[in-house]
Structure 1
Amino acid sequence: MIEEPPLDAPDEEWLVWADAMQQIGDPRGELLALGHDPAYVRAHAPALFGRTLGYHLRDDHLRITKWRRYLPDEIELRISDGAWGPQLVVETASAERMRAVRGVTLAGVPRNEPISLAQTLGWFRESSLAPRLTSLALVDDSARDMTVLRSPGVEPGPNRVHFGALGELWFACPQLEHLKLVVADPAQIQFQVIRLPALRSFTLHPLAWVEGLADMLASSRWPRLASFEARVVESFFGEQPPEGAPDLRPLLAGFRGLALERLALTSFYAWNPVELLATELPALRELDLSDSTFADRSAHELAAHPLVRQLRRLVLKDVWLESAAMFDGLGPEVIHTHLASAPRYRHVIG
């Protein structure tokens, strides 16, 4: 019987092991030979992961989004019933085949009624998954599938997935390096102060930018943060564009002292990215202003600033700017596409 290689062993050793497993009918060998083919995983889920997790995989309660050899590296737990969510967490955390998991997405999947994942997160904090994760995403699946949030009044409607207070989650996972949140209205999220000393990247994909959000994010304690990404989704009144721009100055001021290498502020209409030039970002190497009204005047001001010369990449996908010629010869790789319409992600009132 050939000995199983370490997870970080060269591919050649794993190919030999996979071949040996195929010869004795072990489905893990075929799994590796087929490159983790999703159809094969579903068909052989019980043999690969046991009866319980096999059921969750076949019924799409559990998705494997990244592999380490034959073991899941990153998974998504899809929870449509808040009362049942803790059971899924416990069963996943206790499974031997989940021992290598380093990334988890907790996705609320509301059907007819909103759901709460507060109890699920409580069990998650106490599970064996929490202390070993490097990546965590909290996702409202209905918000993930939307581009335009429509509200009858000025405020967005109630979120369809509720996560509860998140302060204890940060305390339970201080080792997190990557954090992502996908929500409809971030004002309804009880962030508390985000204290994550090891965090390297933060992503926030809301469907509305709300007052106070910039201040809340600026209060975060993430001294190692290298990448920040947020959609600055402004509010349209019917077909009328927003009259005032969101105030991002507190957020930008909060970046001072950080070795921020990547900054993505996208999906804005009235906000002027020239505000960035008042913030010292000496480590910045990539700037992304995609899906926005970024146009000639802002482009020329940005091109004249030393910030551009320190960049390696400037991403301007689907912006109003017709030509990015003003950035030629300044240093960064420019990724540019022109789109003369409103940002894809919008909050429409009325």
Structure 2
Amino acid sequence: MPRYEFKEGSSNKFWEITLEGKTFTTKWGRIGTDGQEKTQSFDSPEAALKEHDKLVREKEKKGYELVDGEDGEDGDGDEVEAVEGKSNPELEAAILKDPDNQDAYLVYGDWLQGQGDPRGELIALQHAAANADSAEAGALKRKVTAHLKKHKALLLGGMAKAWSDEELTVQWHLGFIREARVGKGDYDSELDVPETVKQLLAHPSARFIRSLAVGMVDMDGENNYDDVTAAIVAAKEVPTLQNLFLGDFQYPDETEISWSYVNDVSGLYKALPNLRSLRLRGASAELGKVELPELREFIMETGGLPLGAVKSIASATWPKLERLEVWFGADGYGAEGGVEDIQPILDGKGLSNVKVLGLRNSEFTDDLVKVLHTAKILPQLEKLDLSMGCLSDVGAHELANHAAAYKHLKHLDLTENTMTGEGEKLVAKIAGTVAAGNQRDYDEEYRYAAVGE
């Protein structure tokens, strides 16, 4: 707990303050006594931090001096900076217009430094580190780390604790957050993930954010992403966000894939007009009418894909899509649909730019390969992934009998299916490279996708 003391004439007083999330505790009295203590709560971490900084400034103006802990430290020993951030909408607009133009960042950095905003120095340090030789770059990167720690209150606001606890990880680019991941670190975590996502997207540091991944939201109850989706939608429009991953967790270590729920994500499409990559992991996906004009990559990982979601994918509007990967899952965990339901994908409707196709984790793989050689989309593909399904030696014979249809492929992935050694030999040379190892046991009575629960 940072301790301040005031000694002048007959006055011999101390004052201490500890900030934690939405609350802070102050303690004061005569030096040598236990003093009095008071805890105050606020509506948000930002409100608590603002009042905390105000009180510290007031005590310092009255002559109180810090005697325990480094200048500006919070209760965790991490430095807190009270300077308020500045903004220049015109210079920010120049960056938004051309996000890869370093000069636009540097001009903004010069302006911020002139305003006494620590972000300006961060921009300068990161630019110097990126352009220095290896020896000098190391020293500059250490300066960047120290600067981030010193000014985390300004640069992260109410997210500072999550960052210190490594439940919020960020990648900085020229003074701003370019990539971020939010998720509970363990079962004892008190992190409010949806609230942190909301804070992140509203914070000046994430003004030009490009990538967001969200891990575990709830480790004790039902892990679902409804409130996270709502937080993103509530941001109204995040034009710079290009990559979104909902479900960035390890299964089965953190939770089973079918115990985590994607649910309705259809509201994201308007909120993220420039999305390039959308990756979803979990059960109960509701995709609605998919319209993502800038999307290049879509990945749906699940142990059971509902028929409605299958049809949404098959009829989606994403004219620039280059990679499509779908896990269908097991019937026992909600998987529905079959070859007939993905016929629009096989026909390549609206998928003229797709070069990588994954139809994975399916219980109908043998039926799929019976018609796959005639699929209109096949000639345009470079990579085809049929892994984790129920491809048997029967399906292997189908592939081998139509090997000419697959010879143009650079890579064919058939791993984690149910072929025997005989089946593996049949498919070994039908494409540029073929991955066919790690096969699972074949059982005619009980065949299942690799990932269900």
TM over 0.5: yes
Relative to the length of structure 1, the TM-score reads: 0.72
Residue 375 of structure 2: aligned partner: 279
Amino acid paired to 2:273: P
Deviations 1:4-24 (A, max 9, x none): 3886x99553746634536xx
Amino acid paired to 1:250: D
Q: What RMSD, in angstroms, separates the aligned Cα atoms of the two structures?
A: 4.1
* Other structure's SS at 2:305 match: coil
In 1, Cα distance between the equivalents of 2:172 and 2:122? 22
Residue 249 of structure 1: aligned partner: 340
Of 240, 264, 268, 1:132 maps to 240
Contact 1:268-1:291 within 8 A present in 2 as well: yes
Contact 2:414-2:437 within 8 A present in 1 as well: yes
Deviations 1:98-144 (A, max 9, x none): 45531112345224333665454344235388211111122285877
* Other structure's SS at 1:309 match: coil
Return the structure number with greater relative CO, CA threshold 8 A, min gap 6.
1
Relative to the length of structure 2, the TM-score reads: 0.58
Deviates more, 1:93-102 or 1:52-61: 93-102
Of 214, 218, 242, 1:110 maps to 218
In 2, Cα distance between the equivalents of 1:46 and 1:309? 55
Residue 88 of structure 1: aligned partner: 196
Amino acid paired to 1:185: S
Amino acid paired to 2:211: G
In 1, Cα distance between the equivalents of 2:245 and 2:123? 35
* Structure-2 change in CA distance of 1:162 and 1:210 (3 Å): closer
* Other structure's SS at 2:145 match: helix
In 2, Cα distance between the equivalents of 1:199 and 1:3? 30
Contact 2:122-2:174 within 8 A present in 1 as well: no
Of 178, 188, 198, 1:73 maps to 178
Contact 2:314-2:342 within 8 A present in 1 as well: yes
Q: Structure 1, unaligned stretches of length 5 or more?
A: 31-40, 150-158
Deviations 1:36-90 (A, max 9, x none): xxxxx9x9894895564331123343134x6658865332222799995554134
Structure ID, larger Rg = 2
In 2, Cα distance between the equivalents of 1:45 and 1:14? 26
Of 330, 344, 348, 2:450 maps to 344
Residue 38 of structure 1: aligned partner: none
Deviates more, 1:9-18 or 1:271-280: 9-18
Residue 193 of structure 1: aligned partner: 289
* Other structure's SS at 2:132 match: helix
* Other structure's SS at 1:193 match: coil
* Structure-2 change in CA distance of 1:71 and 1:299 (3 Å): farther
Of 361, 370, 389, 1:267 maps to 361
Task: Please show how residues 140-159 of structure 1 align to structure 2 within 5 Å.
Answer: 141=249, 145-146=254-255, 149=258
Amino acid paired to 2:245: A
In 1, Cα distance between the equivalents of 2:270 and 2:123? 39
Contact 1:294-1:319 within 8 A present in 2 as well: yes
Q: Equivalent pairs: percent with the same residue?
A: 19
Contact 2:283-2:305 within 8 A present in 1 as well: no
Of 183, 186, 193, 2:282 maps to 183
In 1, Cα distance between the equivalents of 2:173 and 2:350? 36
In 1, Cα distance between the equivalents of 2:165 and 2:451? 31
Of 313, 325, 335, 2:425 maps to 325
In 1, Cα distance between the equivalents of 2:373 and 2:383? 14
* Structure-2 change in CA distance of 1:51 and 1:10 (3 Å): closer
In 1, Cα distance between the equivalents of 2:272 and 2:123? 34
